């Protein structure tokens, strides 16, 4: 078993050095996004009595008040989720229609516009809340200039495909954080039922033959084209001796991936899916954003994860943070485990898979288990300083 | 007691594991995955235990034997799970070795296997620190502090962070001992790990006595340093042995 030792030259590397790199490349931004949302929730929600009246299309049917009975709240939450999922389905079908009619330029422009609105509008609101919380001295002119610059660079990062990869990835994470934070402001029952409803919708939209996302993917594959949408791609890294280079973006797509670095030496089928999200607040004009939902392998062998997945993972963890930190850790581990399972299924089935269902279901289950069982147990033990 | 104190308590419990993470584990992505999966295994074991014990909670205060039973059952369950974890790891090792053969790279070295065991142990330790110490640390970021009656000399957060540090050490290094013990079939190593875990758990019951934490915590650190010494000795022996083995075949 150790016979290889005498053949081992000084510079040979074990397989352990580079195994699992792509997975870590996708886990790191997901973790950063979740961590930032939890931090924002902890910093900005220290006042539980002020319930901000956040109205969006997700609360159009029913707005929760504390005095309702649980049954009323459940019915209201179901109604809200149905409205939201119906709106998303309609918007996705619209997207499929536009893609079918080859209005790709319009879609790209729309994507840039929605990125600008998210960064300027939502980013500005959160910045104002943070400035208020920390009493930072800054004047309105400087603030608006900085915000404008920040948003414009973000639009370029999302729009152009040859932008610096680190900045693009950073901006995608920031967009995910901003939208996720706003979704955590929904009422509690609505959030949980909405998450479960979206997981079911994702499953149906990607796997059913009539699902809009599946139609979109098949059209994109048959035309050998990109879908214009917001997607996070973890670029793989090549290590030559001690030099670390990033693989350059390849123009043409290759169906075979025979790179030794890639641990999953499987044939790669490009798959992307997109889902629009509609966010409507009372005083603001209606804005819709186009996100990518689902998971696939990119042409350079990197794993692509849609921004919608980032957002809903962070919403789940953010909502768990509003209860206690223990539920946050439990949900974080559940989501990471779900993501790992999805990626394993991806390498087995090699087609577009929905990234939401497994993680969201595990996350919700772990949240309720942690809240009902774990917390009592742990507090009981550690308050008596009994640990194992 | 302010943000600085809260961060201080968190670093007290998790500081050494953070430096271990940055220096050893973050270099190899596979070790990060091992750490995450072993954290998940520990969390699942804790949830199962809390589900089993939920009907009996809350336990009566000042009565020791329910807590002793709780610790005993939890340690037995976790040790059984550790054995299953090792079995899973053996399967994974076979998969990795055959993969290495297929791409004509060298098989897993001894240091690789030890590093995987270390990452697994660190996962258990970090999970322990997070759930038993960090999750209760939220009030420490505020303007006040909290003292428990039984341990009135030291704030509650500080004593739980100190205990968590001892347990992180115990979990991390006993996993290395356990993996080597199961792999080599060494009875001493196989038995010593549950014994260490159980004695550490039982020692925390000493905290029930008034001012018991003055005795209990130093004894706990004694157990932790014993674990560290035994693990160090064992690893040193294994490394010397494998070097001698490879040296003798050079002829």
Q: Kindly provide the ipTM of the predicted complex, given to two decimals.
A: 0.90
Taking CB atoms and an 8 Å cutoff, what residues of chain A touch B39? 333
Taking CB atoms and an 8 Å cutoff, what residues of chain B touch A336? 36, 40
CB A115 within 8 A of CB A176: no
Nearest to B28 among A16, A324, A337 (CB): A16
Pairing of strands A303-306, A295-297: antiparallel
B213 and A385 within 8 Å at the Cβ level: the answer is: yes
Q: Which region among A97-106, A284-293, A312-321, B38-47 has the lowest average model confidence (pLDDT)?
A: A284-293
Please state, in angstroms and rounded to a whole number, the distance separating the CA atoms of residues B192 and B174.
9
What is the pLDDT at residue B1? 61
Nearest to B29 among A6, A19, A374 (CB): A19
Taking CB atoms and an 8 Å cutoff, what residues of chain B touch A325? 134-135, 137-138
Taking CB atoms and an 8 Å cutoff, what residues of chain A touch B135? 324-326, 329, 378
Q: Which region among A48-62, A72-86, A277-291, B120-134 has the lowest average model confidence (pLDDT)?
A: A277-291
B108 and A15 within 8 Å at the Cβ level: the answer is: yes
Cα distances from B81 to residues A80, A344, B132, in angstroms, run: 43, 23, 19
The interface residues of chain B toward chain A in range 127-166, judged by CB-CB distance below 8 A, are 128, 130-138, 148, 150-151, 156, 159-160, 163-164
Nearest to A377 among B50, B106, B163 (CB): B50
The interface residues of chain A toward chain B in range 335-354, judged by CB-CB distance below 8 A, are 336-337, 340
Q: Which residue of B has its CA nearest to A42?
A: B138
Please state, in angstroms and rounded to a whole number, the distance separating the CA atoms of residues A375 and A320.
13
CB pairs < 8 Å spanning A and B: 175
Which carries the bigger pLDDT value, residue A267 or residue A114? A114
Please state, in angstroms and rounded to a whole number, the distance separating the CA atoms of residues A193 and A189.
6
Please state, in angstroms and rounded to a whole number, the distance separating the CA atoms of residues B62 and A384.
9
Q: Which region among A251-260, A288-297, A371-380, B188-197 has the lowest average model confidence (pLDDT)?
A: A251-260
* Overall pTM surpassing 0.95 (yes/no): no
Please state, in angstroms and rounded to a whole number, the distance separating the CA atoms of residues A152 and B142.
39
pLDDT in tens, B191-241: 999 999 999 999 988 888 887 888 889 999 999 999 999 999 999 999 999
Please state, in angstroms and rounded to a whole number, the distance separating the CA atoms of residues B30 and A19.
6
Averaged pLDDT for residues A85-105: 87
Inform me whether the pLDDT recorded for A179 exceeds 80. yes
CB A206 within 8 A of CB A213: yes
Token code pair at residue B51 = 């589900």
Mapped onto helix, strand or coil, the DSSP state of residue B22 is: helix
What is the pLDDT at residue A12? 63
Q: Residue A347's pLDDT band (boundaries 50, 70, 90)?
A: confident
Please state, in angstroms and rounded to a whole number, the distance separating the CA atoms of residues A158 and A169.
9
Give the residue ranges of chain B where pLDDT is below 50: none
Which carries the bigger pLDDT value, residue A278 or residue A100? A100
A388 and B71 within 8 Å at the Cβ level: the answer is: yes
**In this complex, is the C-beta atom of A19 within 8 Å of any C-beta atom belonging to chain B?**
yes
CB A159 within 8 A of CB A112: yes
Active site residues of A: 202, 309
Inform me whether the pLDDT recorded for A45 exceeds 90. no
What is the pLDDT at residue B192? 92
Rg (alpha carbons) of chain A, rounded to whole number:
22
Number of Cβ within 10 Å of residue A109's Cβ equals 13
Give Dmax (Cα) for chain A. 75
What is the pLDDT at residue A269? 25
Is residue B58 reached through a cis peptide bond, with omega within 30 degrees of 0 on the bond before it? yes
């Amino acid at each position: 078993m150790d016979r290889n030792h005498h053949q081992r030259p000084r510079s040979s590397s074990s397989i352990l050095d580079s195994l699992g790199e792509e997975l870590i490349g996708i886990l790191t931004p997901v973790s950063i996004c979740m961590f930032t949302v939890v931090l924002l929730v902890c910093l900005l929600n220290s006042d539980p009595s002020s319930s901000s009246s956040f109205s969006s299309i997700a609360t159009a049917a029913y707005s929760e008040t504390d005095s309702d009975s649980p049954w009323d709240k459940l019915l209201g939450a179901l109604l809200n989720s149905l409205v939201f999922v119906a709106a998303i389905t309609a918007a996705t079908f619209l997207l499929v229609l536009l893609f079918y009619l080859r209005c790709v330029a319009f879609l790209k422009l729309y994507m840039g516009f929605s990125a600008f609105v998210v960064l300027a509008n939502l980013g500005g609101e959160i910045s104002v809340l943070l400035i208020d919380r920390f009493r930072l001295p800054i004047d309105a002119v400087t603030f608006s200039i900085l915000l404008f610059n920040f948003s414009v660079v973000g639009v370029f990062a999302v729009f152009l495909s040859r932008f610096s990869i680190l900045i693009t990835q950073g901006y995608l994470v920031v967009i995910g954080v901003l939208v996720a934070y706003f979704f955590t402001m929904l009422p509690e029952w609505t959030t949980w039922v909405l998450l479960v409803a979206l997981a079911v919708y994702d499953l149906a939209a990607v796997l059913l033959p009539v699902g809009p996302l599946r139609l979109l993917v098949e059209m994109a594959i048959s035309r050998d084209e990109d879908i214009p949408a917001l997607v996070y791609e973890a670029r793989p890294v090549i290590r030559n001796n001690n030099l670390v280079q990033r693989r350059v973006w390849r123009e043409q797509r290759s169906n075979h991936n025979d790179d030794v670095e890639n641990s999953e030496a499987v044939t790669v089928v490009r798959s992307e899916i997109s889902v629009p999200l509609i966010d409507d607040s009372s005083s603001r004009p209606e804005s819709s954003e186009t996100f990518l939902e689902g998971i696939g392998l990119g042409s350079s062998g990197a794993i692509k994860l849609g921004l919608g997945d980032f957002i809903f993972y962070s919403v789940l963890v953010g909502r768990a943070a509003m209860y206690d930190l223990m539920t946050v850790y439990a949900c974080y581990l559940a989501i990471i485990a779900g993501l790992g399972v999805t990626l394993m299924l991806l390498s087995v089935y090699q087609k577009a898979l929905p990234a939401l269902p497994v993680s969201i279901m595990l996350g919700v289950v772990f949240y309720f288990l942690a809240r009902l069982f774990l917390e009592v147990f742990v507090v009981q033990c550690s308050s008596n300083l009994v640990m194992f | 007691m302010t943000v600085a104190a809260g961060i201080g308590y968190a670093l007290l419990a998790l500081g050494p594991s953070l430096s271990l993470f940055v220096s050893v584990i973050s270099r190899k992505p596979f070790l990060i995955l091992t750490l995450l999966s072993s954290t998940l295994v520990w969390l699942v074991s804790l949830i199962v235990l809390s589900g089993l014990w939920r009907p009996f909670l809350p336990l009566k205060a000042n009565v020791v034997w329910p807590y002793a039973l709780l610790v005993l059952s939890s340690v037995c369950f976790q040790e059984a799970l550790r054995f299953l974890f090792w079995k899973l790891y053996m399967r994974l090792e076979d998969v990795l070795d055959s993969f290495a053969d297929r791409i004509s790279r060298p098989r897993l070295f001894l240091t690789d296997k030890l590093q995987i065991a270390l990452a697994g142990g660190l996962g258990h330790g970090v999970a322990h620190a997070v759930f038993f110490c960090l999750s209760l640390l939220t009030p420490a970021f505020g303007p006040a502090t909290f003292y428990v009656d039984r341990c009135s000399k030291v704030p509650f957060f500080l004593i739980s962070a100190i205990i968590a540090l001892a347990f992180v050490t115990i979990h991390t290094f006993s996993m290395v001992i356990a993996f080597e013990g199961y792999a080599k079939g060494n009875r001493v190593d196989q038995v010593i790990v549950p014994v260490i875990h159980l004695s550490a758990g039982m020692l925390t019951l000493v905290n029930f006595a008034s001012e018991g934490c003055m005795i209990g915590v130093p004894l706990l650190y004694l157990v932790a340093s014993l674990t560290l010494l035994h693990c160090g000795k064992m690893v040193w022996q294994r490394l010397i042995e494998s070097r001698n083995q490879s040296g003798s075949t050079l002829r």
